[in-house]
Amino acid sequence: MQNVEQETDIYYQKIANILSCPLTNGEMTYSNDAHRIQQFISNLKDTQELDIAIRHGFFNAANNAFFPIIDHVIVLLPEACFHSIDDYSTNTKTLEVKQFYENYGWNKDKNEEYNDEALYVDSRDISQKYHTTTTERAAKHLQPSGKYMLDVACGPIYQPDYQAFSKNFEKRICIDISMAALQLTKKHIGVDRGIFILGDITNLPLKNNLCDNVVSFHTIYHVPKENQQKAVEELIRVCKNDRDVIIAYNWAWHSWLMNLILLPKKVYNGFKRFYQMYLKSKEKSKQDLYFYAYPPSWFEKQFGNNKHTEISFHCLQSLHKDFIRFYIHKWLFGEKILDGILNLEKNYNKWLGKNGAYPLIVIRKKKKTGIVEINAPMIEGNQL
């Protein structure tokens, strides 16, 4: 037992080399000193009695914040740690997204589907080949191998094809704002294969130029619109030079192609929302989730081909999930239709990347960036 604890302590001491304090951007130090930890927590004002005993975690260099490790998850979300910094606040929309996934999104429904999947993905058998093929497209933009693959807003990583993204990397750094997601992620990819961090995409607690690839799927448009540029810049900051940040986005109302084809569905949804608002309840639905989509031109302006980064758009999925659910059925030649669309997406990849439903935005970080970097030493990938 003692040997296991010693190995754990050595492991987290090495992990400290890649972390950066999300409150001060400073160095982090691992501690398993239970007396020091409890004394620090008890000295904070308004600290309530803890439900669990905290054995270890990380102190920042300023010694005004402690970040616990709870069941292999490193808690680096400022509002969930222990600190004496009074001027820190979290965007209320971000907190709403967090609550959505903690209390609803990663719970399962009566069909044993995650609620998030039931809302946003067509999981019928007829759609599986389409979804698997489109996920494989994203994998083609990954490095052949590497030390760290960073997965921001990772979710539970329950799909086998998505789990395979990190098969050629030593570690998958999984960051999510939801503890529920991270607990599921540990089960699906294994504790030994990942580093699990409770954290915020707009304030990544990692040092600069660390990761061989950075991916973030279906996340940025749930970030408050005023913070989306910061979120993308954070993804770029922690990515190594001459490597790629891979973002799955949703053009939503900017995709004229889907808007035109889905006009009958949109009319139906409009009447449905009207009915729910005026004939049922005006209370906010537990299924509500913040959403804002920028157009392709916004990404080009912010991260286009310049001295800092270069950007390219690719087709992840040209079809919105509403299209698939509304039009694709076995009795209506659904499989042949999807096969034909897959072929179109292959041949018109770049065009559908800008005009379809879900693009794959690939941002290459050049060697010299103009993005402000945190005041912490750069880390090479061979230190852990």
Lowest mean per-residue pLDDT among 52-56, 119-123, 276-280, 349-353: 276-280
Q: How confident is the model at residue 288 (pLDDT cuts 50, 70, 90)?
A: confident
Pick the residue with more confidence: 147 or 102? 147
Q: How confident is the model at residue 377 (pLDDT cuts 50, 70, 90)?
A: very low
| 6 has pLDDT over 90 | no
Output phi, psi for 54, to 5 deg.
-95, 115
The percent of residues above 90 in pLDDT, for the chain, comes to: 58
Lowest mean per-residue pLDDT among 194-203, 261-270, 314-323: 261-270
Beta strands in the chain (DSSP E): 28-31, 57-60, 65-70, 73-75, 82-83, 146-152, 169-176, 194-198, 213-217, 244-248, 309-317, 358-365
For residues 116-124, average pLDDT: 85
Burial bucket for residue 295 (CB in 10 Å: 0-12, 13-18, 19+): middle
Alpha helices in 44-197 (DSSP H): 92-100, 115-120, 125-139, 160-163, 179-189
Show Cβ contacts of residue 266 under 8 Å, excluding neighbours closer than 6 positions: 259
| 338 has pLDDT over 90 | yes
- pLDDT tens profile 141-183: 999 999 999 999 999 999 999 999 999 999 999 999 999 999 9
- How far is residue 247's CA from residue 106's CA, in Å, rounded to a whole number? 21
What pLDDT is stored for residue 258 in this prediction?
A: 76
For residues 242-262, average pLDDT: 86
Domains in the chain: ranges and CATH: 2-83 (no CATH), 95-254+285-365 (3.40.50.150)
- Max mean pLDDT among 43-52, 80-89, 135-144 falls in 135-144
Indicate the SS3 state at residue 29.
Answer: strand
| 270 has pLDDT over 80 | no
Q: How confident is the model at residue 54 (pLDDT cuts 50, 70, 90)?
A: confident
- How far is residue 245's CA from residue 322's CA, in Å, rounded to a whole number? 28
Instruction: Give residue for tokens 């950075």.
Output: 214
What pLDDT is stored for residue 52 in this prediction?
A: 65
Q: Please give the structure tokens belonging to residue 149.
A: 């693959």
For residues 253-260, average pLDDT: 77
Instruction: Give residue for tokens 């993804």.
Output: 235
What pLDDT is stored for residue 381 in this prediction?
A: 43
- How far is residue 159's CA from residue 127's CA, in Å, rounded to a whole number? 14
The percent of residues above 70 in pLDDT, for the chain, comes to: 85
Q: What is the mean pLDDT of the chain?
A: 86
Lowest mean per-residue pLDDT among 105-119, 189-203, 299-313: 105-119
Q: How far is CA 192 from the centre of its chain?
A: 20
Indicate the SS3 state at residue 383.
Answer: coil
What pLDDT is stored for residue 210 in this prediction?
A: 96
| 285 has pLDDT over 60 | no
For residues 8-34, average pLDDT: 95
What pLDDT is stored for residue 108 in this prediction?
A: 85
What pLDDT is stored for residue 5 in this prediction?
A: 80
Of residues 333, 329, 325, the one with CA closest to residue 357 = 325
Q: Please give the structure tokens belonging to residue 16.
A: 């400290």
Rg (CA), the chain: 22
For residues 85-105, average pLDDT: 80
Lowest mean per-residue pLDDT among 107-121, 227-241, 272-286: 272-286
